[in-house]
A and B are shown apart, each in its own frame.
Chain A
Amino acid sequence: MTQSAIEVSSAGVAYGNMKVLNDVSLTVEQGTAMLILGANGAGKTTLLKAIMGFLPLREGELSLLGHNVKQASTAKRVKLGISYMSELGLFPPLSVEDNLKLGCHGLHRRKVKERLDEAYAIFPDLVARRKEAAGSLSGGQRKMVGISKCLMSHPSVLLMDEPSAGLSPKYVAEVIAVLGELRKTGLTLLVAEQNVSFLAAADNACVIESGRISFRGTIAELEDNTTLHDAFFGLEGLNDHLDS
């Protein structure tokens, strides 16, 4: 039996007295991809932040790659092989290359050079812009920098918060294609999104509403759920998705 990459059990998270996640449980198996769907403010980002250790769990348990990390620092979780791409995803004032180097800080210079070569092989467009401030790039290129930065540490698990934010449909398709390629390497993905196009890159999905998980299952199960259809796809969106 394969070990779960992420296992969240009955988790509760609060900002002060305001509880924003209630009794959240989900499991992401290694090498699979799960999409977290939900409206703005539903708790998607909060869940990712709790998994990364930016927010403490008030209740419940959390294990990553078989390690109980409820009390572990973010740095420890990163060392375990977890990487997180926030909505911003990069350090805008720093150069593209500095951003990438920060993704694997602490490694020997020779290793860093190897990782940079790997990143530039995946995203050759970044080579010409490696000395430029990451914040000066286009939205799509910024996402590529963000993804590359996360991959520099050779993570086992990648958490992504709204990778489609601020992107045109063309770039969204590009990001989805990249995620598809990354999945072939065995990387585990947990992606928080509102854009259902990302279902194309996922095996499973869960839906968060008002801090609670209202649905958890495969993509096929999600598509069979009439209520969720109406909420997330709409007729046109559903047809587009099924066509693809």
Chain B
Amino acid sequence: MPNEGKLAYLLFEYSIIAGVLLGIFYAFLSMGLNLIFGVQKIINLAHGDMVMLGGFGAWELYYTYHVNPILAVVIVIPFTVALGLALYYLLIPRLSGATDMETLSLVLFFGVSQVIEALTTLGLGNNERNLPINSIPSHPIHVLGQAFAAEAWVAAGVSLPLLALFFFYLYGTPLGRQTRAVMADSNEAAAVGIDSGRVSAISFGIGLALATSSGVMAIFVLGGVNPSEGPGLTIIAFAIVVFGSLGNPFGTLLGGVLFGIAYEAAQVYATSWSDLVPLVLVLGVILLKPQGLLGKRTRVV
């Protein structure tokens, strides 16, 4: 039987490894919110609802079409990009003439969030949806002698390549370069002839697709999803994005991982306080480094 020192070390080791796994997933879950903010300077308060819809999509695909949830992560992407483009052209032109677009966008997307929640409840009921654990690899994986839940590895294992793909898009493609240019300064981007509207529309679609595809994994990580899940997930994503630095994708990656570690540490050492982790992170960063961990005096991408 391990002595107290050994036990403390094992608990610490567990919270770090489990935290990194959870953090990768949460970075993925938050990335779309950051992308949309970075490009359009609007906060998508319906972000969590899109994550929730991804979970419902996975449930529907599994029980109606027998689609493996890992495959569902990819299937929901094109549908959500299309939905994002439609929503963009329906909503954003109405915002663009506003003198205070950021504030008006909060009101608008709060409304969108409420509509999504109401429609989901009306159409699919308000019961929590979950999927059988054996629909994905379910054997615990041992690292350094400790067992970690398979769903944590699957969520991180699915999130990591999709994050890598997203970073490749952003840093390795001409469209990604244009996206970063719009994130840095939309007027400067217009001056070189970049069609900011087109870049914004595509980014909006990708931002929502990142949300829904993470939602497929959220159904396992959270143990299930229900229509009222959205606002809570938006708060977590917002906390991670602010913590890392608004508009900075690397900040969101770092913020997600640190959030995961802090959350798992809280679960290990003070379980009942763990839900406060996102709020503590936001308050801490606002008080100590308002521009976020990777933030400079100006917003960076």
Contacts and interface: CB of A to CB of B under 8 A. Distances in A.
Interface of A: 52, 54, 74-75, 78-79, 83-86, 88-94, 98, 101-103, 105-106, 135, 149, 153
Interface of B: 174, 177-178, 180-181, 184-185, 187-195, 298, 300-301
B177 A101 contact: yes
Contact of A92 (B177, B184, B194): B184
Contacts of B184: 91-94
Contacts of B300: 93
Nearest to B300: A93
A102 B194 CA distance: 8
B187 A86 contact: yes
24 contacts: A54-B190, A74-B190, A75-B190, A75-B194, A75-B195, A79-B193, A83-B191, A85-B191, A86-B191, A91-B184, A91-B188, A92-B298, A93-B180, A93-B184, A94-B184, A101-B174, A102-B192, A103-B192, A105-B174, A105-B178, A105-B194, A106-B174, A149-B192, A153-B193
Contacts of A83: 191-192
Contact of B185 (A78, A88, A105, A153): A88
A88 B188 CA distance: 8
Given A91-B185, A102-B178, A52 B195 contact: no
B191 A84 contact: yes
A102 B190 contact: no
Given A92-B298, A93-B301, A78 B181 contact: no
B192 A78 contact: yes
B202 to A, nearest CB: 14
Nearest to B190: A74
B180 A105 contact: no
Residue among B180, B187, B188 with most chain A CB within 10 A: B188
B192 to A, nearest CB: 5
A34 to B, nearest CB: 19
Contacts of A103: 192
Given A74-B190, A93-B300, A94-B177, 17 more contacts: A52-B191, A75-B190, A75-B195, A78-B192, A79-B193, A85-B191, A86-B187, A86-B191, A91-B180, A91-B188, A93-B301, A94-B180, A98-B177, A101-B174, A101-B177, A102-B177, A105-B192
Contacts of A105: 174, 177-178, 192-194
A149 B300 CA distance: 20
Contacts of B185: 88, 91
A79 B191 CA distance: 11
Given A54-B187, A86-B187, A93-B300, A153 B181 contact: no
A101 B178 CA distance: 10
Contacts of B298: 92-93, 135
B193 A74 contact: yes
B192 A153 contact: yes
A165 to B, nearest CB: 15
Contacts of B192: 78, 83, 102-103, 105, 149, 153
Contacts of B194: 75, 102, 105
A44 to B, nearest CB: 16
A105 B192 CA distance: 8
B97 to A, nearest CB: 12
Contacts of A54: 187, 190-191
B188 A90 contact: yes
Given A91-B180, A92-B298, A105-B174, A86 B190 contact: no
Contacts of A86: 187-188, 191
Q: Give the one of B174, B187, B193, B195 with max A CB within 10 A.
A: B193
Nearest to B193: A78
Nearest to B301: A93
Contacts of B174: 101, 105-106
A147 to B, nearest CB: 13
A94 B187 CA distance: 15
Contacts of A78: 191-193
B90 to A, nearest CB: 22
Contacts of A135: 298
Residue among A78, A79, A105 with the most chain B CB within 10 A? A105
Nearest to A146: B188
B181 A91 contact: yes
A78 B196 CA distance: 14
Shortest Cβ-Cβ A-B pairs, 9 listed: A78-B193, A91-B184, A93-B300, A84-B191, A75-B193, A74-B190, A93-B301, A93-B184, A102-B181
Given A75-B195, A105-B174, A94 B190 contact: no
Nearest to B99: A16
A28 B184 CA distance: 32
